[in-house]
């Protein structure tokens, strides 16, 4: 008697086209003339203010003062504020040292000195060339990570598993970027760190499912690949749900309480966990199954 199990692979014929539409829509949104990403200071350049205060000042107080400065559509409260020594902070803003921004920079300078008497403010420019190099390095890091994963999975499993995993990662990252474009969230180096983390998270979940598929293929060579994949997903279902749920909890707390500075990071993680869990069931395994039916028909079998 067969144990009752959820038919994940059977629903893929409806969900995969939906996912393809989401990926295409996200890719279109990423075109600068359509929507594009809101690039952060790390990639656009800006002005860095090094402020030495007469006494200890909390970074939240500095952020509140920045919020009082009228910078048009730019919210200066999202500026990076980092400790640079005793009573010293560096404030990195997207304001460029050009004619249109000089007045705002002067207003920031005046606001800080007014709110914190005795504050000494020094300015320095973050060049766009440096920002361009950072953007290239960030993209290279993601490509190297995906290339290393392709090699590892090909060695650990088979090439078909690697292709399925990479396409799954492309799905997750593209949709997450599309949501960033829709929400107008800032894309910076912290966001790249979040994306690299979600790539690793998604891959980990995929590896668990793939490993279970490989084991079940060896244990029962008479069972069709369709049933083997469904069985494998069901066997790893409890682990996947528990892992996703426990990971989501701190991410949701971070999203709610982390403020504007950590919003991009937390949104990237939240979308990545949800998309990564979904894609390990409905993207990676259908690709693996369809590949097997095309190139290994004798083993793939039909739905039973």
Per residue in 24-41, pLDDT tens?
Answer: 999 999 998 888 888 877
Residue 266 exposure: Cα atoms within 13 Å on the Cβ side: 16
Range of the domain at 230: 8-38+130-300
Q: Is residue 229 part of a domain?
A: yes
Q: Does 50 share its domain with 158?
A: no
Q: CA–CA separation, 138 vs 271, rounded Å?
A: 20
Could you give the residue ranges of the DSSP H alpha helices within 70-188?
Answer: 99-115, 128-156, 159-183
pTM of the model: 0.77
Q: What's the Cα-to-Cα distance from 229 to each of 109, 202, 212, 215, 216, rounded to whole Å?
A: 62, 18, 9, 11, 9
Of 253, 285, 280, 283, the closest CA to residue 266 belongs to 253
Q: Does 63 share its domain with 20?
A: no
Could you give the residue ranges of the DSSP H alpha helices within 157-188?
Answer: 159-183
Q: Does 73 share its domain with 191?
A: no
Q: Does 98 share its domain with 134?
A: no
Q: Does 166 share its domain with 90?
A: no
Q: CA–CA separation, 61 vs 137, rounded Å?
A: 33
Give the pairing of strands 80-85 and 88-93.
antiparallel
Question: Which of 76, 100, 126 represents a domain boundary (last residue)?
Answer: 126
Q: pLDDT for 134-153, tens place per residue?
A: 667 767 777 787 778 778 77
pLDDT attached to residue 138: 67
Q: Does 265 share its domain with 209?
A: yes
Of 61, 54, 56, the closest CA to residue 81 belongs to 61
Q: Is residue 3 part of a domain?
A: no
Q: Does 90 share its domain with 55?
A: yes
Q: Is residue 1 part of a domain?
A: no
Specify the length of the chain in residues: 304
Q: Does 175 share its domain with 285?
A: yes
Question: Which of 126, 148, 182 represents a domain boundary (last residue)?
Answer: 126
Lowest mean pLDDT among 72-81, 90-99, 232-241: 90-99
**Contact at 8 Å (CB) between 5 and 232?**
no
Residue 68, both tokens: 């009082």
Q: pLDDT for 56-65, tens place per residue?
A: 888 889 989 9
Residue 3: band (very low, low, confident or very high) from pLDDT cuts 50, 70, 90: very low
Q: Does 139 share its domain with 218?
A: yes
CATH number at residue 231: 1.20.1640.10
Q: Does 224 share its domain with 97?
A: no
Lowest mean pLDDT among 76-80, 105-109, 231-235, 240-244: 76-80
């Amino acid at each position: 008697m067969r144990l009752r199990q959820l038919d994940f692979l059977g629903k893929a014929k409806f969900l995969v086209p939906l996912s393809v539409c989401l990926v295409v829509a996200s890719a279109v949104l990423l075109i600068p003339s359509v929507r594009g990403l809101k690039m952060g200071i790390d990639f656009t350049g800006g002005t860095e203010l090094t402020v030495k205060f007469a006494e200890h000042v909390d970074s939240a107080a500095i952020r509140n003062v920045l919020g009082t400065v009228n910078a048009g559509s730019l919210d200066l409260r999202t500026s990076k504020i980092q400790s640079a020594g005793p009573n010293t902070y560096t404030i990195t803003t997207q304001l460029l040292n050009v004619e249109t921004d000089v007045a705002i920079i002067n207003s920031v300078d005046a606001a800080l000195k007014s709110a914190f008497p005795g504050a000494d403010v020094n300015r320095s420019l973050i060049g766009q060339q440096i920002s361009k190099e950072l953007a290239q390095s960030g993209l290279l890091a993601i490509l190297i990570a995906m290339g290393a994963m392709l090699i590892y999975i090909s060695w650990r499993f088979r090439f078909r598993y690697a292709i399925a995993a990479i396409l799954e990662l492309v799905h997750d990252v593209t949709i997450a970027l599309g949501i960033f474009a829709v929400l107008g969230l800032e894309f910076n180096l912290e966001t790249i760190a979040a994306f690299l983390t979600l790539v690793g998270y998604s891959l980990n979940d995929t590896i668990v499912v793939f490993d279970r598929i490989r084991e079940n293929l060896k244990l029962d060579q008479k069972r069709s690949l369709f049933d083997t994949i469904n069985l494998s997903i069901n066997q790893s279902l409890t682990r996947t749900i528990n892992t996703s749920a426990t990971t989501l909890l701190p991410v949701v707390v971070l999203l709610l309480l982390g403020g504007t500075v950590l919003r991009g990071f937390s949104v990237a993680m939240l979308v990545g966990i949800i998309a990564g869990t979904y894609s390990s069931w409905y993207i990676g395994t259908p690709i693996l199954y369809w590949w097997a039916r095309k190139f290994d028909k004798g083993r793939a079998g039909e739905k039973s």
